[in-house]
């Protein structure tokens, strides 16, 4: 329950199914005509679940109770419907009439059409006890179309929505099956006599509740409205009105929530002011200081200090002594209880954080690792402390004692609600209600901010390049409307589809601005806060409702010098919680290669990753055949002489020593047979050269062992290849 928008969206959410997510076809993701007006075309994610995760429109209802339709067949028989099992019925000349898939009779096309019209009039006027939610699907005969007939539906789990029946002006409830064969006008002036049967009750009925909250959404490019539906559910708002009594694991709250000056009519219908979701900001559209490039936004430091976008995160920590009992958990007596024992001295600094009952101090400040609760082990008489598990400073908002009401049992469980202040910092994400997201790039001093002729400084500065390609004209109109509304003290109606080519929004709000003494189009001359000179161009200046999103840099930053490594490869592990690193992948490698930064490449991929040193044999180039003998003993375990290919440190190559021993035995055999000794060729499957800077020590006199710097994972690869019978040789020169 992040905010109110997210909460109400959960109840009107529909998922097509996990099976469809794996299909390659796009047909299952499309909004087909029969679902228009029942499923919102805007409120759907923009990623892999696009078109599969949908939301009901604001007027759509799901039928949950069975309808009383037992009398419908008899009513239709009295109006000319033929009995279903009549031997004289001609199936080719008559159409089938069904109720919930059960054949109730046959009728000629003209009679079936008249029955459908009569049922429609009866259900809208409440005559003959025909329920309003009865779906009347009249499929006329056609060449190659759907199977014709009159299909009636009264069962549950159907989508229904209200429209106006033109014939009698009453409200009719229609379903997806019958909608395809109707002619429904959007506005009353679009009704064609003899053609249109119904007209929409409102032009915004095809949008979901959340999509209806976007002001002037008809002025925006369609993907921007989709983005706003997602970001509106991610904003820090007011999740509930009874925050003091909630026990959620995590809650976000915007402390300075305001009602938007520019809002649709439905904003009041759904009581959105009870759960404010953002703040009205004075916004200037100008390229200023260069810190507003690529969707970055500059915040006025003075506005920041006055509480603009100030938020709070509430987290819970539960201390349960029954989980700490261990082996004596099953005993009837509780050996652990909250409090401070006699072993805690009066001058102990921990008494300033924990009260005598072992509970945290309400509104107390706690840093990571501070004791937040204390309990006494009755068996040993010693006091033990529970530490605050968070990684940032928090304040205890309240502490709840969890137990029975009788008071005959020892307190064993407490719930601590922690309050973490989150003022906006550089890197925090903000968004207007038009999909124009951006991060705070700088908190600019108020004395250096540009100002208008009336002395007003902007709270937010955004770059004008945010508008041309995204075509969010609704934000420009909202800026004009917000400015006019602030000057006249009125809430502006931002319901979409209210303006037309003849009555434009720019003229409507421009006249209000002119009446308040401002430029018709919302531009103002502004002055540099640094030099005091007037800018060469007028600046677009207005009021826009901004949302602070839950994506904050304090929750996402990841930094590492040294830390845990993988047991197998000795490379840093991944994951922010595990103090891991960020993977330096193939594309990052290619970028450094393209820049020609070889030493930086080596620093990232070896020095800061899995740097290791290894002995390598100059003769055979092997790094996995290291042998060691204690030089002080004078002889190794094999009984060979220490002078044979051995390093003064006692390091030697087992392959070369074994080869030398085999060669010596082979030469003796050849000499014994009267043959001339021949040189054995050196064999390797893969040959690599080691650069000079990776050599850490030169070969000792009389030996062929060198120390080189290598990534540890390369040594692991050599060992794996050796298991497959592939020898890797390093050429050390």
Verify that 597 and 621 share a domain, yes or no.
no
- Residue 455 in any domain: the answer is no
Give the integer Cα–Cα distance in Å for 266 and 209: 8
Q: According to the model, what pLDDT value does residue 440 have?
A: 95
Residue-wise pLDDT for 245-257, tens only, equals: 899 999 999 999 9
Q: According to the model, what pLDDT value does residue 666 have?
A: 74
- Residue 256 in any domain: the answer is no
Give the integer Cα–Cα distance in Å for 95 and 111: 9
Sheet with 371-377, side-by-side order of all strands: 336-338, 371-377, 382-387
pLDDT band at residue 679, thresholds of 50, 70 and 90?
low
Give the integer Cα–Cα distance in Å for 308 and 278: 10
Verify that 571 and 700 share a domain, yes or no.
no
pLDDT at residue 327 greater than cutoff 90: no
- Residue 140 in any domain: the answer is yes
pLDDT band at residue 106, thresholds of 50, 70 and 90?
very high
- Residue 205 in any domain: the answer is no
Give the integer Cα–Cα distance in Å for 303 and 280: 12
Kindly tell me the number of DSSP H helices and DSSP E strands found in the chain: 16, 37
Give the integer Cα–Cα distance in Å for 368 and 60: 49
Two structure tokens written together for 85: 């099992």
- Contacting residues for 119 by C-beta, under 8 A, at least 6 apart: 130, 134, 136, 152
Give the integer Cα–Cα distance in Å for 93 and 112: 12
Verify that 563 and 625 share a domain, yes or no.
no
Verify that 195 and 66 share a domain, yes or no.
yes
What number is the average pLDDT over the span 88-109? 89
- Residue 117 in any domain: the answer is yes
Say which residue, 675 or 410, is predicted with more confidence.
410
Verify that 81 and 163 share a domain, yes or no.
yes
Per-residue CA distances from 650 to 285, 623, 630, 705 (Å): 74, 16, 6, 10
Residue-wise pLDDT for 37-82, tens only, equals: 999 999 999 888 999 999 999 999 999 999 999 999 999 999 989 9
Verify that 570 and 689 share a domain, yes or no.
no
Two structure tokens written together for 691: 């650069």
Q: Are 224 and 42 in contact (CB under 8 A)?
A: no
Give the integer Cα–Cα distance in Å for 496 and 31: 21
Verify that 155 and 121 share a domain, yes or no.
yes
| CATH number for 130 | 3.90.1070.20
pLDDT at residue 135 greater than cutoff 50: yes
Two structure tokens written together for 103: 């054949």
pLDDT at residue 697 greater than cutoff 60: yes
Verify that 570 and 692 share a domain, yes or no.
no
Verify that 172 and 117 share a domain, yes or no.
yes
Verify that 95 and 130 share a domain, yes or no.
yes
Q: According to the model, what pLDDT value does residue 641 have?
A: 42
DSSP H helical ranges for 408-552: 473-488, 505-515
pLDDT band at residue 581, thresholds of 50, 70 and 90?
very high
Residue-wise pLDDT for 486-517, tens only, equals: 999 999 999 999 999 999 999 999 999 999 99
Residue-wise pLDDT for 606-657, tens only, equals: 999 999 999 998 888 888 888 887 766 655 444 444 444 456 667 888 888 8
Q: According to the model, what pLDDT value does residue 643 have?
A: 44
Where among 397, 422, 447 does a domain terminate? 422
Residues in the chain: 733
Q: According to the model, what pLDDT value does residue 504 have?
A: 94
Per-residue CA distances from 216 to 224, 494, 623 (Å): 12, 5, 69
Where among 387, 422, 457 does a domain terminate? 422
Number of domains in the chain: 4
Q: Are 297 and 430 in contact (CB under 8 A)?
A: yes
Which region among 214-223, 300-309, 642-651 has the lowest average model confidence (pLDDT)? 642-651
Give the integer Cα–Cα distance in Å for 176 and 145: 17
Where among 364, 392, 422 does a domain terminate? 422
| CATH number for 728 | 3.90.1800.10
- Residue 537 in any domain: the answer is no
DSSP of 533-585, one letter per residue? PBPSS-EEEEEEEEEEBS--HHHH----SS--B-TTT-PBPB-TTTT-B----
What number is the average pLDDT over the span 672-690? 67
What number is the average pLDDT over the span 334-357? 87
Give the integer Cα–Cα distance in Å for 588 and 119: 68
Q: According to the model, what pLDDT value does residue 211 have?
A: 96
Residue-wise pLDDT for 508-559, tens only, equals: 999 999 999 999 999 999 999 999 999 999 999 999 999 999 999 999 999 9
- Residue 295 in any domain: the answer is no
Say which residue, 446 or 629, is predicted with more confidence.
446
β-strands 728-732, 686-690 pairing? parallel
Give the integer Cα–Cα distance in Å for 613 and 626: 13
- Residue 45 in any domain: the answer is no
Say which residue, 329 or 160, is predicted with more confidence.
160
pLDDT at residue 483 greater than cutoff 70: yes
| CATH number for 413 | 2.40.50.150
Give the integer Cα–Cα distance in Å for 437 and 439: 7
Which secondary structure element, helix H or strand E, spans residue 318, and what is its range? Answer: strand 311-320
Q: According to the model, what pLDDT value does residue 11 have?
A: 95
Say which residue, 407 or 652, is predicted with more confidence.
652
Give the integer Cα–Cα distance in Å for 713 and 584: 15
Place of tokens 């101090």: 361
Verify that 562 and 617 share a domain, yes or no.
no
pLDDT at residue 279 greater than cutoff 70: yes
What number is the average pLDDT over the span 24-33? 92
What number is the average pLDDT over the span 385-391? 92
Verify that 594 and 655 share a domain, yes or no.
no
Two structure tokens written together for 304: 């920041």
Residues 611, 616, 620, 624, Cα dihedral to 10°: -60
Candidates 391, 370, 368; CA nearest to 576 is: 391
Percentage of the chain lying above the pLDDT 70 cut: 93
Two structure tokens written together for 607: 């020095």
Give the integer Cα–Cα distance in Å for 244 and 26: 47
Q: Structural domain of residue 411, as residue ranges?
A: 312-325+334-422
Mean of per-residue pLDDT scores for the chain: 89
Q: According to the model, what pLDDT value does residue 404 have?
A: 76
Percentage of the chain lying above the pLDDT 90 cut: 72
């Amino acid at each position: 329950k992040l905010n109110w928008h997210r909460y109400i969206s959960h109840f009107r959410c529909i998922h097509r199914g996990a099976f469809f997510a794996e299909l390659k076809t796009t047909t299952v993701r499309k909004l087909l005509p029969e679902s228009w007006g029942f499923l919102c075309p805007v409120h759907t994610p923009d990623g892999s679940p696009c078109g599969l995760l949908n939301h009901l429109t604001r007027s759509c209802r799901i039928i949950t109770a069975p309808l009383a339709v037992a009398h419908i067949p008899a009513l239709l028989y009295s109006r000319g419907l033929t009995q279903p099992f009549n031997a004289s019925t001609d199936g080719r000349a008559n159409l089938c009439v069904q109720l919930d898939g059960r054949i109730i009779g046959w009728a000629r096309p003209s009679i079936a059409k008249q029955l459908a019209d009569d049922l429609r009039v009866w259900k809208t006027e409440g005559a003959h006890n025909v329920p309003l939610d009865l779906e009347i699907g009249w499929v006329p005969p056609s060449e190659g179309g759907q199977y014709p007939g009159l299909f009636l539906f009264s069962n549950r789990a159907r989508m229904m929505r209200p429209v106006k029946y033109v014939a009698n002006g009453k409200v009719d409830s229609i379903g997806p099956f019958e909608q395809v064969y109707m002619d429904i006008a959007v506005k009353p002036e679009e009704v064609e006599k003899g053609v249109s049967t119904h007209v929409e009750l409102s032009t915004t009925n095809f949008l979901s509740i959340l999509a209806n909250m976007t002001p002037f959404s008809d002025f925006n490019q369609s993907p921007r409205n989709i983005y706003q539906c997602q970001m509106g559910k991610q904003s820090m708002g007011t999740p509930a009105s009874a925050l003091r009594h909630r026990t959620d694991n995590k809650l976000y709250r915007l402390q300075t929530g305001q009602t938007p000056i520019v809002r649709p009519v439905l904003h009041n219908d759904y009581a959105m002011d009870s759960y404010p979701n953002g703040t009205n900001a004075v916004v200037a559209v100008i390229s200023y200081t260069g810190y507003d490039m690529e969707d970055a936004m500059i915040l006025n430091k003075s506005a920041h200090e006055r509480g603009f976008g100030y938020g709070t995160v509430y987290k819970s920590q539960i201390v349960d002594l029954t989980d700490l009992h261990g082996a004596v958990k099953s005993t009837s007596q509780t050996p652990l209880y909250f409090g401070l024992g006699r072993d805690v001295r009066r001058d102990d600094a921990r008494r300033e954080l924990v009260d005598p009952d072992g509970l945290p101090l309400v509104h107390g400040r706690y840093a990571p690792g501070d004791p937040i609760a204390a309990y006494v082990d009755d068996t040993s008489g010693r006091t033990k402390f529970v530490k605050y598990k968070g990684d940032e400073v928090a304040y205890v908002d309240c502490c709840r004692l969890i137990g029975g009401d009788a008071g005959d049992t020892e307190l064993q469980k407490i719930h601590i609600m922690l309050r973490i202040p989150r003022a906006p910092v550089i890197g925090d994400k903000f968004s207007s209600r038009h999909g124009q997201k951006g991060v705070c790039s700088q908190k600019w001093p108020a004395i250096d901010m540009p100002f208008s002729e009336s002395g007003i400084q902007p709270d937010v500065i955004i770059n004008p390049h945010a508008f041309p390609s995204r075509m969010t004209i609704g934000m420009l109109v909202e800026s004009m409307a917000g400015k006019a509304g602030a000057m006249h003290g009125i809430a502006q109606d931002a319901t979409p589809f209210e303006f037309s080519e003849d009555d434009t929004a720019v003229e409507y709000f421009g006249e209000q601005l002119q009446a308040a003494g401002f430029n018709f189009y919302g531009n103002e001359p502004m002055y540099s806060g640094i030099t005091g000179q007037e800018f060469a161009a007028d600046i677009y200046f207005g009021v826009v409702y901004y949302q602070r999103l839950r994506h904050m840099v304090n929750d996402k930053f990841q930094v590492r010098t040294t830390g845990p490594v993988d047991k197998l490869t000795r490379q840093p592990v991944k994951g922010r919680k595990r103090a891991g690193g960020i993977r330096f992948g193939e594309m990052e490698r290619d970028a450094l290669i393209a820049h020609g930064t070889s030493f930086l490449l080596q620093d990232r991929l070896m020095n800061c990753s899995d740097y290791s040193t290894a002995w390598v044999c100059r003769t055979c180039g092997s790094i996995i055949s290291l042998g060691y003998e204690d030089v002080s003993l004078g002889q190794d375990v094999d009984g060979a002489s220490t002078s044979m290919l051995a390093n003064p440190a006692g390091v030697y190559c087992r392959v070369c020593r074994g080869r030398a021993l085999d060669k010596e035995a082979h030469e003796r055999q050849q000499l014994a047979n009267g043959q001339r000794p021949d040189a054995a060729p050196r064999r390797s499957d893969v040959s690599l050269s080691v650069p000079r800077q990776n050599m850490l020590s030169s070969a000792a006199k009389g030996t062929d062992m060198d120390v080189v710097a290598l990534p540890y994972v390369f040594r692991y690869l050599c060992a794996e290849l050796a298991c497959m019978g592939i020898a890797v040789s390093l050429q050390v020169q």
